[in-house]
Structures are given as structure tokens and as C-alpha cells.
Structure 1
């Protein structure tokens, strides 16, 4: 009988040792993720991103191409709103293309290395490596990390939960959270190809600009469409709407919203200009590229401008910080205050 107990004890002890040896530490998994990034020549992935920074959730389909040394092509589409933008990085610079307006801007930018990007694999891995306090849990066939973010407005979105497939180390999902751990940005990866091959001109500027415009034709009707005024929902420094003015302009109306409080700012909304179809050269951007999640804008000094659904928004303030301007811009989409 004693011999049976000893055999059972030895078996249980062996199982314990095997499980202990098989347990992965966060730094071990982070090392494997980094090794995968360093060995990878490029990848393609598709994802669905949902933003909850306004009154209503907005969902976008994202297609990412990445090839060494630092080439990127990111397509951001909202089928419901008919909105599409593409960001392209190659040896010539960084370009933001809005096909429906026949507009493209050229930036001298360090994108995407200067901030977190929830839909770029190497950016997620970098966030994990940068955060020495990153936590990891293992759930069935998943590695789940919780890390700090590197967003410009990280005070609004300080945390993220990143999930990887345990076997392939492919990204599964990302949840970007506010200070109360509420998810404001979620990314669900639907397809990942770590063995992607690219043609020699896959990231060529002219080819991609032409292709983007063919896929989403220039919308000559944008200038004739009426637009409804959208309001920011972010509450910074007890700010409230002080005044709303509508001014007649050549292409319709311009709405000027003035906000007062500890932090004052002005938000201008008007129809975006559609450039002639013959216009093909990128416009040099007089400012920094601003990634709002749902659109790429331009940050210049005390102003931030972006375009959504044929409407151009310009936010101006001398009292808002750069991060606060991003927060206000990301929250635009609300209804009139009661």
C-alpha cells in the first residue's frame, strides 16, 4: 500500500515540475515577441477598430502592410460613413491621402515610432518592452498583457490590454482604456500574415495614391451636401458652450462654436474643399501629423485640423495643451447641449 502512495506522490510531483518548467514569465514572452519582430521581414493584417470617444461608437476596417526597413501602408475605412483615409510611409516621407477629396498631404514625421499604435504589431511589442511594470496572464491559448500606453494624450488613455495567440504570437485583440479601465478603443484582428511578400512598388507613392482614388472615387458632390453640426463631449476645465454662430461662405456655411471656462477654445466646422481631379501632387503639410484614431489631421501651433465625412474641423486654443486638444477633437460627434 505504501508503495502505491509513493508512486502516486512521485507522479503528482512530476506533473508539478513539468507545469512549473512550462510556466512562462512575462519577460520570457516579451523576449519571444521581440525576437519575432526582429526576424520578421514584413506582414499584412486586417482588423476591425471600434472607438467609443464620442456619443455613438464608430467602427472602422483597417488594412495594414508593413515591410522592412520602415515602409507602411495603412488603410482606414468606415463603410457606413463612406469615409476612407490612407497613410503611407516610404523613403520619400509620410503621406496622408483622403481619396474622396482628392487630397494628399506630405509630412516630415517620425510616425509610427513616436507613439503607440493599436493596430501595428511592432508598436504593441514596443509598448510591452517599454513598460517595466507590464503584467501578463495566461488564459487557455492566449497571452494577455496589460501595459501603459505611449499616446500623446496618455492621460486620457493610459492603459491597454494586448492579447496574443500563444502558439503563433499573432495579435488577437487590443483594448485601450481610460483611467477607470473603461474600454474606449478596441481592435479585433481578423487576419494576420507574417510571411507576406510585396512587389517592388507596393509602397510607391504615385501607385498608392492612384489606387486609393480609384477605390474611393473623388466625391464631387461633397461640396453640395449639407452637414449637421457636431459638438465635443469632452469636459475639460468645466468648459461650456458660450456662443454658436453660422456664417455664409462660398461653399455653404461655416459654423463657429466658442467654448468658455478654465480652458477656452473655438471649433470651426465647414464643408471641405474637393480639389480638381487633375490635381495629383501632395501638399506639403505645414505642421505635425495628428493621429486621432478615426482620422489623421494636422497640428500647427495653437490649432488642430482634420476632415471627416466631407466636413473640415479646425480647433483653435491658446489654453489647451496638445493632449487636451487631441481629447477634444476625438470627442467631437455629440448632439447640441440641452
Structure 2
């Protein structure tokens, strides 16, 4: 009997050792975190493609995401809504940080150290950093979602939109490439999902991929993953984007005209308004920048496609619409108010070509990049973004930033006032 027990114990020990050997490829959270720190530190480049789904409106919206990074600080992010043929590109190169809308031939240049100061859900550095700094991180191994086991981290989300509280990050067990990201709000509702279809380290992108003018003209819309064939591509990177320095006065007039129009709707004067970016200091708005709209149909068809917010803070209701014209372009201002909040949304057709240096803060809305100005010396803040050929300017002196972001993110579908 004792011999049988001894034999059984020996068999169990062998099975235990065998199972341990089979699972030797699985690491614990501490080991994975150390590896991730090394990966980011030694990383030279990467290129990834995937889809991003936003659940901030009444219906989920899906965007194609194409991300390219080259050490030390070159970035290219392309966001495309295939259904509406809308593409925006975010670039960081030697000249600065740019947001491009090729379809409108429009360029914004930001004075920013992005993305170091702002997280992005589709950037590998942002995801890894959120794992490294969260000492209360939760770790699990997912054996069901993908063909191979994947590591899953549940960590705090560190985005400018304060309503996004936590995120889950799926990583390939073998090489730590990102597989999926889910970002949830404080109610544990998934608001943003990014699923990577392709991702590769050491992508070796051509430098022309990060060239502003080539991206604006569409020449670099599909990033190359080969080494430059000659010095021409490198030279292209060193060229200053002419679109970023020309036509500044035109844009300055439009920006200031928009400010005046917003002040008219909110009841604030020019002295109380937030200082807005312009291309050249001292630019004066054209005399017709605040003129009431005439009976011309110019731009009417485009503005008829303008969207309304699907989210409003509690108690806020639509009040009225004002037809205006500034910079020779038609526009409308929608006013919303309650006992606590009052804000306006100005919608207009941007000029065919416009370039300006933005002094505000870049704010990712998910489906586009916005610019936030004001809030320091003035109580009034303005959030500006372009979507589907319409420029939107949300201005308020009472609406908190988090609420501004939620309202802006909800301008994705049609709603009848």
C-alpha cells in the first residue's frame, strides 16, 4: 500500500513539473512591466493599422487608424471615416505639430510638445506609459479572445477628457504588440475601442511620410515602410511647409470674425472675449465679418449638412439660431442655455486654403483633433474643430471643460432641434 502511495506521489510530481514546463512562457505582471519598459526605451519605430470605434453618440462610429512613429519625435496619425470620406492627419516633424485636412487643403500648426504632454489611445508609448505609472494596475491572461494567449492590463486612463476613467490593454504574449484597447467612463461603459489589425516594430518609414506638404497633397497618404532610396526624401523633410506660413492674414480675419460672432451670441463684448489665435498680430477683421447673412445660397448646401450635439448637460436646451456672415462666408450660431450653463456653437464653411499657428491646446476628440483656447486670463473658452467640411466653434464662459468635450464629441450625428 505504501509503495502504491509513493508511486502515485511520484507521478503527481512529474505531472506538476511537466505542466510547469509547458507554462514557462507565461510571465507575471512584474516581469511584463519590466519588459515593456525596455521595449519602449529601445524602440526605433513602429507602424500600425486598425479601427477605432467611438460610442459617444447615439450610434457607434468607426474610423480607420493608421499610425507611424520614428525615433526620436516623428509621428503621423491618419484618422479616416470611410463612410463620409473624411480624413484628418496629425503630424509631428522638425517644423512642429500640424493637423491637416487634405480634403479642405487646411493646415493648423500647434505650439505644442505633443504627444509628450497628452495621451493618445492609438499610440504605443501612451499605452505602455499608462501601465508603467499605475502601481495599482490589474493583470490577467486572456486565453479566449485570440488564437494565442494575450496579456491584459486594466489601468487608469490618463486623457484630457476627464470622463474617461480606465482602460484595458491587450498585448501579444510573444512580442508585446498591442492587440486591443478599451477605454471606459466612470460608469464602466466602454466609450472608445481600438483594435489593431497590423502592428510592427522597426517599420523604417521613409522620412517623406512625415513631410507636411506631401501629406497635404496626398503624396504621403500611404506610409512607406522602406528606407529612403536617396537623399531627396530626406531633403523633403527639411523643407518648410509653405502652406503653414502663407495665407495667414486670411485665416486671422476668419478667426477674429468668428470670435466677434460668438460674442454677439453670448452677449459678451470684444474686451471680454478669449484671445484667439491668428496668423499675424494686429490683424483687423473685415467690415462684413459680423454682417447678417444675405439671401445668397453660397455655402447653404454645405451648412445644411452641419451636425447638432446629441449630448447636452442636464437642464440645457436649445434656445435659438442666428444666421451670420463673416469673412464673406455664411455661418450660423446655435445658442444653448440653462440656469447654470450658457454656450454657443458657431458653424461655418472654412476657406479653401487656410493656415495658422495655433496657440491653444490640442484636444483629441477621437474622430478629430480640436483646439482649446482661453480659460487663463479670461473665463471664456473656445473649442474649435473641423469635421466633414464644417468648422465648429463651441464657446462658453460657464461650461466646464469636461462638459465641453462631451458636447463636442457628440456632434457626430443628425438631430432635429
Report what 2:392 is aligned to.
313
Distance 1:20 1:99, change over 3 A: closer
Report what 1:91 is aligned to.
94
Report what 1:52 is aligned to.
55
Report what 2:155 is aligned to.
147
Deviation at 1:291, TM superposition (A): 1.3
Higher normalized strand content (fraction of residues): 1
**Gapped regions of structure 1 (runs ≥ 5):** 216-220
Secondary structure of residue in 2 paired with 1:231: coil
CA distance, structure 2, for counterparts of residue 112 and residue 311 of structure 1? 26
Secondary structure of residue in 2 paired with 1:33: helix
By relative contact order (CA 8 Å, sep 6+), the higher-ranking structure is 1
Is the contact between residue 299 and residue 330 of structure 2 (CA under 8 Å) also seen in structure 1? no
Deviation at 1:295, TM superposition (A): 0.7
CA distance, structure 2, for counterparts of residue 214 and residue 62 of structure 1? 12
CA distance, structure 1, for counterparts of residue 302 and residue 178 of structure 2? 40
Is the contact between residue 102 and residue 213 of structure 1 (CA under 8 Å) also seen in structure 2? no
Which of 121, 124, 138 is matched with 2:124 structurally? 121
Deviation at 1:23, TM superposition (A): 5.0
Report what 2:133 is aligned to.
130
Deviation at 1:20, TM superposition (A): 8.1
CA distance, structure 2, for counterparts of residue 293 and residue 330 of structure 1? 8
Deviation at 1:290, TM superposition (A): 1.8
Does the alignment pair 1:40 with 2:43?
A: yes
Give TM-score scaled by structure 2 length: 0.72
Give TM-score scaled by structure 1 length: 0.88
Secondary structure of residue in 1 paired with 2:218: helix
Deviation at 1:153, TM superposition (A): 1.7
Render the CA deviation track for 1:281-302: whole Å, top value 9, x for unaligned: x421132222111111211111
Does the alignment pair 1:262 with 2:340?
A: yes
Does the alignment pair 1:295 with 2:360?
A: no
CA RMSD of aligned residues (A): 2.4
Is the radius of gyration larger for structure 1 or structure 2? Answer: 2
CA distance, structure 2, for counterparts of residue 243 and residue 213 of structure 1? 44
Count the aligned residue pairs. 326
**Gapped regions of structure 2 (runs ≥ 5):** 144-148, 223-297, 375-380
Describe how 1:180-219 pairs up with structure 2 within 5 A: 180-211=187-218
CA distance, structure 2, for counterparts of residue 261 and residue 331 of structure 1? 22
